[in-house]
Structure 1
Amino acid sequence: MATLSLIAEPFPDWEAPMHFAGAHDLVNAIASTAPRSCSARFLLARGSHAPEFASPKIAVEVLPMRASSLPILWQSNATARPLDGEMTHSITPMMPLRARSDDDGTQSTVTVPHALAWEAPELLSPAQARLVRAFVKRAVRFADIIVTTSHSTASLLQNMYGYNLPVQVIPPVAPNVLLAGVDSAARRARLGLPERYMVTTANNDEAGRLHWVYNALEADSTLPHVVVITGLDPVVQGKGQAPTSELASRIPERLRNRITVVAADDLRDAGAVISGASLMLQPQSFAATGYPVIAALMSKVPVLHAGVDATGELVLDGGLAESDPVGFASALSRLFIASPGDGTSEFERLTVQAADRGRTFSWEGVAWQLWETHATI
C-alpha cells in the first residue's frame, strides 16, 4: 500500500495556525481522493494536539520530537532518515530532507507559500527570514518538486535558483475554519457587528496600509462599517500591529464609530467575520499565502486589493485592483453607489464573479494534483 505522508507541523510564523488547519483539511482530501490501495498519514510533533479523523485511510503518527525542536533538527541529514522510501508533502518549507539515491523510492514535495523572505523580509523576524531561506535552499537541493501558491513566487525562485528548477504552481485553499460555520451568525452577533460591513486584515504600518482604509472612510461618509481582523497578517518588525486593544485606540477619533477591531485568536471568529462581509479590502503592499483572500472568494465576497501580483493571481476577476490610495478610495466609493438592484451594478457583478472564482478552490483539487505529481516523479 502506498502512503502519502503530510507534514502537519507548520513553519513557526503568524500563519502557523492557518497552515495547521489547512493540513487537517488537506489530509482528509488526500484520503478521499486516494487511488486504490493508497492511504494518507498525518505527521505530528510530540505534544501537539492529535485530531481525530473519520476516514480509515488516515493514520496519525506522532514524531518523537516537540514542534519547538523541529526548525533546528530538520536542517540536519539524520532526521530525514525515517522518511527514506516514503512519499512526503509539506505545505510549508519546513521539512526534513537529505540526499538520496534515485532508486530508493523516496519522493518529496515542498511548498513555498510566499516570497516574503526575499521580497519583504522586514515582515518576518530576522531568524524567521533566515530559516525560510535555509529550508528553501535545502528543498532546491534535495526535494523532487517545489510547490508554490503563485506564478509570481515560482518565477522568483527560478530567477534565483535556475530556470530548470522543478516548480509546480498549486493555488492554496482556505481552511474550513475560515469559512462560514453553523454558528457564524451567532459569532457575529457576539462580536457586535452590524448587518452590513467591509472586512480587512490590513495592519497599521507602512506595509499594511490600513491608512488607505482610513482615508477612504474619511472621504466618503456613506461607506459601510469596517471590521479589522488582527493576527492574520504579518507586521513590520518593531513597527507594526500592537495588541488588538491598542490598535483600536490608534483609530482616528472621528472614525471610531465606523470601525470595529476583532482578534483572530479563534479562527472560527475570523471565518464568521469574513463570510458575513460585503467586501474584503486588501491595501497591503505584499502578499502572503492568501488564506483570508481565498476565504472571502469562497464566501462570495469580492476583493478590492492593491494589485500585488500574487494577490491578483488569486482574485482574477473576483475583485478590483487599485495601486494607489486615491484610486483605492475612489473605487470603494464607486462600488457602493446606490444600485438599481437588478444585478447590473459593478458591485453586484463583482459579487457574482467572486462566487464563480471561489468555486475553483477545493482541497480535493489540491489532493488530486499531489497524487498526480507523486505518480509522475
Structure 2
Amino acid sequence: MKTTTVILDQVVAPVPGGIGRYALNLVRALTARVDGIRSLVGFVPRVSHDAVRQIEGFIPLLEGVNVSPFPRAVLARAWERGVAVPKHEVTYSPSLFAPLAEYGQHIVTIHDAVPWTHPETLTSRGARWHRAMGERAQRFADIVVVPTDAVASRISTFLSLGDRIRVIGGAPTSDLIVPVDSENRRFALGLPDVYITFVGTLEPRKGLEQLLVALATIEGLSLVVIGPQGWGGVSVDDLVTRTGIAPHRVHALGRLGDSDLAAVLSASRGLVVPSIEEGFGLPVLEAMSLGVPVVHSTAEALREVAGQSAIAVDVHGKNGTIKLAEALTGLNDETLRRDLASRGMARAAQFSWDASAARLESVFEELT
C-alpha cells in the first residue's frame, strides 16, 4: 500500500483563511475516496495535542497525524533552504508550505500569483518566501495544482512549469447550513435589518477600504465584515475613521463558525468581493450556495468562478468606487436579487468537493 503524506499546517494555522478551508474540505473529501490502495497520513509542524485531536476530528479517515519537532516558522525557513526536509514517498501539499526536495514525488499547490503580481499587498518577508518556494516548486514538484485557469495562466508568466499544472478548484463546504435559530444568532451578534457582507482575511488586497468609501455614499445600508485579522495592518476601526463612514454602519465580527456564518450570510442583501486579486474566491461560491447575490471585482479568477451569475465591477479602474456604489444601490431591486440568487445557486451546484477530490485522486494516479 502506498502512503501519501499530506501537509496540513493550514488547517490549524492561527489564520487559516481560504487556503485552510480549501485544504480541510479537499483532504476530507479525498480520504472518503481512498480505496485501500493508498493510505493518507497527515503531517503538521509542532502543535499541541489538542490541535492534533482537532485535525483527527475534522478529518477522521486519516491513517494518522505525524508531528514535526519543529514549529511552523522554523520549518518554513528550513524548507525554503531545502533543510530538515523529511523523506516521504509521496507528499501532497495543499499550499506552498511544502517539503520540496529531490527525494520522493511532490504535489504542491500554488493558490495565486499575488507574491509576483502584487507583492506590495503582502509583508516583504511573506512575498519573498512565497516566490522562493515557487522557485523550489519549479525545480522539484512533479505536479503543481492551482485552483483556476486564471492562476494557471498567470503563474506560468513567472515560473516554468510546462505541462505539470493541474487545475483543481474549491466548492461550498457541506458544513455551511443555515441553522434554525438564525434570527436569534443575528440578534445576538447585534446586526441591523439591512446589510451587505464582506468575507475574508483582513489584508490590503481584499479592497475593504474602497468598499467602505463606496458604502459611505449610500444611505440605509450597513456592512458586516467577517474574517480574521491578517497582515498589512488592516484595521476596520482605522478604515472607518479614514473613510468617514458612520461607525454604527460597520459591524466587524471577526472569524465565525460555519453556523453563524450561514446565519449572517443568508440574510445578507449581498456579498461584496472587491479584491485586487484572488486565486479562487471561496466566499463567492459559498454565498451563492445560500442564495445570496454576489458583487465582485473583475479579477480574472473571480470572473471564472462566478461565471455569468454575479455582478462584476471594475472597482479598481477609472471611477471604480462610483461603479461599486452603483452596483450596491442596484441590490435594492428585489427582482434583480432574485435573479442573481437563482443563477448563483445553479452556479454553485456545479462545484463539489467530491469532484475536486476525484481530480486530485487522478493526479495521484499519474505518479504511480
Scaled to the shorter chain, the TM-score interval is 0.7 to 0.9
| Separation (CA, whole Å) in 1 of partners of 2:296 and 2:21 | 25
Q: 1:228 aligns to what?
A: 225
TM-fit CA distance, 1:11: 10
**Counterpart mapping for 1:266-345 below 5 A:** 269-270=260-261, 272-323=263-314, 324-337=320-333, 339=334, 345=335
Determine which of 163, 168, 171 is the counterpart of 1:173. 171
Q: 2:362 aligns to what?
A: 372
* Aligned-partner SS, 1:79: coil
Q: Deviations over 1:351-377 (max 9, x none)?
A: 011111222332222211111111023
Question: TM-score, with normalisation over the residues of structure 2?
Answer: 0.84
Q: 2:147 aligns to what?
A: 149
* Aligned-partner SS, 2:197: strand
Q: Is the 8 A contact 2:212 2:243 kept in 1?
A: no
What letter corresponds to residue 34 of structure 2 in structure 1? A
| Separation (CA, whole Å) in 1 of partners of 2:191 and 2:18 | 23
What letter corresponds to residue 321 of structure 2 in structure 1? P
Q: 1:30 aligns to what?
A: 30
TM-fit CA distance, 1:47: 1.9
* Aligned-partner SS, 2:109: strand
Determine which of 109, 121, 126 is the counterpart of 1:123. 121
| Separation (CA, whole Å) in 2 of partners of 1:161 and 1:334 | 41
Determine which of 30, 52, 71 is the counterpart of 2:76. 71
| Separation (CA, whole Å) in 2 of partners of 1:68 and 1:267 | 28
| Separation (CA, whole Å) in 1 of partners of 2:13 and 2:65 | 23
Identity of aligned residues (%): 25
Confirm whether residue 256 of structure 1 aligns to residue 247 of structure 2.
Answer: yes
**CA, structure 1 residues 29+164, in 2 after alignment: closer, same or farther (shift >3 Å)?**
same
RMSD after superposition: 3.1
Determine which of 55, 62, 65 is the counterpart of 2:67. 62
**CA, structure 1 residues 73+322, in 2 after alignment: closer, same or farther (shift >3 Å)?**
same
What letter corresponds to residue 92 of structure 1 in structure 2? S
| Separation (CA, whole Å) in 2 of partners of 1:179 and 1:121 | 36
Confirm whether residue 355 of structure 1 aligns to residue 345 of structure 2.
Answer: yes
**Counterpart mapping for 1:150-229 below 5 A:** 150-162=148-160, 164-174=162-172, 180=178, 185-201=183-199, 208-218=207-217, 220-221=218-219, 224-229=221-226
Q: Deviations over 1:152-208 (max 9, x none)?
A: 221122222336241111112355676645765544222111344210248696862
Q: Is the 8 A contact 1:21 1:177 kept in 2?
A: no
Question: TM-score, with normalisation over the residues of structure 1?
Answer: 0.82
How many matched pairs? 356
Range moving further from structure 2, 16-25 or 300-309:
16-25
Q: Which runs of 5+ in 1 are unaligned?
A: 101-105, 340-344
TM-fit CA distance, 1:128: 0.4
Range moving further from structure 2, 291-300 or 66-75:
291-300
| Separation (CA, whole Å) in 2 of partners of 1:209 and 1:147 | 28
* Aligned-partner SS, 1:94: coil
**CA, structure 1 residues 265+201, in 2 after alignment: closer, same or farther (shift >3 Å)?**
closer
Q: Is the 8 A contact 2:100 2:141 kept in 1?
A: yes
| Separation (CA, whole Å) in 2 of partners of 1:165 and 1:173 | 25
Q: 2:317 aligns to what?
A: none
Confirm whether residue 91 of structure 1 aligns to residue 104 of structure 2.
Answer: no
TM-fit CA distance, 1:330: 2.0
What letter corresponds to residue 93 of structure 1 in structure 2? L
**CA, structure 1 residues 151+198, in 2 after alignment: closer, same or farther (shift >3 Å)?**
same
Q: Deviations over 1:40-70 (max 9, x none)?
A: 2221222241123474553222223222221
What letter corresponds to residue 16 of structure 1 in structure 2? P
